[in-house]
Structures are given as C-alpha cells and as structure tokens.
Amino acid sequence: MQISLSAQQPFIFLNAVRSHGWWQLAPFDFDEQASLLRYVLRLSTGKVVDLNIREAPGGIGVEVKGKLSKREQAEIEERVGWMFGLERDFSSFYAAVRHEPKLSHVESKAYGRLLRSPTFFEDVIKTILTTNTLWGATKRMNLNLIAQFGDPWPADPDRKAFPTPERLAAVPPDVLREETRLGYRAPYIQTLAERVASGDLDVESFKTSDLPTLELRKKLMKIKGVGSYAAANLLMILGRGDFIPLDTWALKLVSHEWHDGQPVTPADVEAAFADWGEWKGMAYWFWDWKYQGD
DNA sequence: GGTAGACCTGGACGC
DNA sequence: GCGTCCAGGTCTACC
C-alpha cells in the first residue's frame, strides 16, 4: 500500500532525515544510495509494519507491504507526519535569521525540522542513551534494547520495533542492566517505562503541551536521567528551539568558532547565542560551523 | 544555588 | 592479553 503525505514547504527529505543522528539509530535504517528511510513500526493494535519512506512530490511517500485497515492507515499517516514535522511552518525562523550570514542558508536547505521517533517515549529513551557516552555506545545500547525486547516484523524477524513501555517495565532490572549494557542508565529507563506503562506519566502529552517552554523543561528534568543537556535536546525535538543542548561538542564548536580553539565554558556558549532569544537553540543547531570534527 | 565525586561502558594505549 | 586511563552528562550529598 502506498500513502502520500504533503509537507509544509520548503521541505527537503534528505535534510529532514539527516537533521541529527536519529537516522542512524534502529529501528531507523537509512539506505543513502536509494535515499530510502525504513522504520519498523509497532501499531497500537500490536501489528508490526515496515515503513519504506521516500521523497515524493510535495512531501513524502510511504510504502507498506500488505493490506491495511483504514484505522491502521490513519495511524501511520499520523505517526509519520509527526516524525517529519510535516505540518511545521518555519517562516518566522527564516525571517529572523535571514540577515545572519551563518544562517542565511537555512531556508534554501529547508532546515528546521528534526527527525523524531513516532513516540516521545522512544525519543526520551534515545536521548538518555546519548548522555555520558560516545555515539557508538549509544547505537549499541539502543540496538540491544530493540533486539531483546522489540516486537519482530513478521516478514523479517531480525528487524524489530522499538520496545513498548509495558515490555520494558516488565524486564527485571538486572537483565536490563547487564544484557543491554545500559549500565547505570538501566534504572532510569526502567523507572520511565514503569511510570509510562502505569499511566503515572503521560510523555506523549508533551507533544501537544501548551505549557511555556520553561515549565515544560522543568517537567522533562523531573524524569530521572534527563538533565539540562537532555532536556534541551528533547525540547528541540518538540519544536521548542530556545535552549542549547550544551554538551562537549557544543564547547568544541564554540571554541573553534570564536576562541581560536582555546577552552571555553558553558557560559561562553550561552553568551554566543544570547541574542537569539526564542531561536537560540535553532540558531546553534543550524549554524554554519567552521569546525566539522577532527 | 553551586560544586565535588560517583556512576558505567568501551575504546585507546602502553607494557 | 592485561591493566590503566579517558570521554561522555546526570545524580546525590554536601556546603
């Protein structure tokens, strides 16, 4: 079955996919040559499908093998629409940065969207997995979680969906810690899964929250394992671009951009973008940095 | 409110 | 092959 979804323009599929590292994390699987993004999705009915997502005129096309009920099709449309932020309008961001040479490229490249997971639960866990570790370990921990606790896609059981809160909540803590190599993050992940599964915490409601960003940030930081960096990252994913995800990479970027590679402090990073107000995080994220890595 | 130290894993390096 | 060091954010205890 083929589903077509239109996007608020401008929209460039490849730039939306590669807006940050999520495309490298299962159950995403990106074929660069074919410009095809695959994702194994568990629908609310429990059915597991493989989404084949490509650029299409005016937006994206989603191909799913087999028949789908109207309800299933609607759920896929809603989830994929959220993942790509298809309805988002960045015209005020583009207008705000138009005269900054380091950001003048954003409109032509249709920057602004950050690839999301279909559930915010998944995005919170993946963000916790990025903290205090290297990217390779993040990918490994995420893969372990999915391989051990995700529901398989029937046509290829090696490909699995991201685990549900209920499934993770039921895993014994020592198993989560030892077998997925989550280390000290295991109790954070399990507590979150338990709270979501029991209904104590509705993380999906964060997607549509009309709370002021500062209040939303406080709520995010009440989740164990989510500190200032993770909260800023999650706010960016939610479309609130006014905090900088301040990690060691941010220090490096600012150091090379304005301080000749000399050590800088978090305050220096904040100061560099202080004038951007509500666009602070967005300006940082899409800045045309001198430093591109060692 | 600010800060020091602990928390884990895995890669790099020296022997 | 083994031991040591280091990188990477957040939490807790303490001041």
Which nucleotides on strand B sit less than 7 A from a protein beta carbon?
7-11
Does the C-beta of A225 come within 7 A of strand C? yes
In this complex, the answer to whether residue A231 has its CB under 7 A from any atom of chain C, a nucleic strand, is yes
A294 pLDDT tier (thresholds 50, 70, 90): low
> Is the CB of residue A226 inside 7 Å of nucleic acid strand C?
yes
* B7 closest protein residue (CA to C1'): A184
Mean pLDDT, residues A192-202: 96
The pLDDT tens digits for A63-99 are 999 889 999 999 999 999 999 999 999 999 999 999 9
Residue A230 approaches strand C within 7 Å at CB: yes
Q: Which of residues 119-138 of A touch strand B (CB under 7 A)?
A: 132-134, 136-137
> Shortest CA–C1' contact from A186: which nucleotide?
B8
- CA torsion angle for A151, A152, A158, A164 (degrees, to 10)? -20
Window A164-183, strand B contacts by Cβ < 7 Å: 177-178, 181-183
- CA–CA distance, A4 with A162 (Å, rounded to integer): 24
- Exposure string of A87-118, with b = 16+ CB inside 10 Å and e = fewer, is eeebeebbebbeeeeebeebbeebbbbbbbbb
Whether A5 has a pLDDT exceeding 80, the answer reads: yes
For A232-277, what is the HEC assignment? HHHHHHCCCCCCCCCCHHHHHHHHHHHCCCCCCCHHHHHHHHHHHH
Query: Is the CB of residue A140 inside 7 Å of nucleic acid strand B?
Result: yes
pLDDT at A11 > cutoff 90? yes
Does residue A101 lie within 7 Å of nucleic acid chain B, judged by its CB?
no
Q: What is the pLDDT of residues A120-167, one digit of tens each?
A: 999 999 999 999 999 999 999 999 999 999 999 999 999 999 999 999
Number of helices (H), then strands (E), in chain A? 13, 7
pLDDT the model gives residue A292: 83
Reply yes or no on whether the pLDDT at A173 is more than 90.
Answer: no
Predicted confidence at residue A174, as pLDDT, reads 85
Distance A74 CA to B3 C1' (A): 51
Contacts of A82 (CB under 8 A, 6+ apart): A116, A118, A207
Question: In sequence order, what are the residues at sequence separation of 6 or more whose Cβ sits closer than 8 angstroms to the Cβ of residue A125?
Answer: A145, A189, A192
A183: nt with nearest C1' to CA: B8
- Region A197-209: what's the mean pLDDT? 97
Q: What percentage of chain A reaches a pLDDT higher than 90?
A: 92
d(CA A112, CA A285): 9
Is the pLDDT at A283 greater than 80? The verdict is yes
How confident is the prediction for chain A on average, in pLDDT? 95
CB of A247 nearer than 7 A to strand C: yes
Q: How many CB atoms lie within 10 A of CB A216?
A: 18
CA of A58 to C1' of C11 (A): 46
Please report, rounded to whole angstroms, the spatial distance between the CA atom of protein residue A1 and the C1' atom of nucleotide C8. Answer: 43
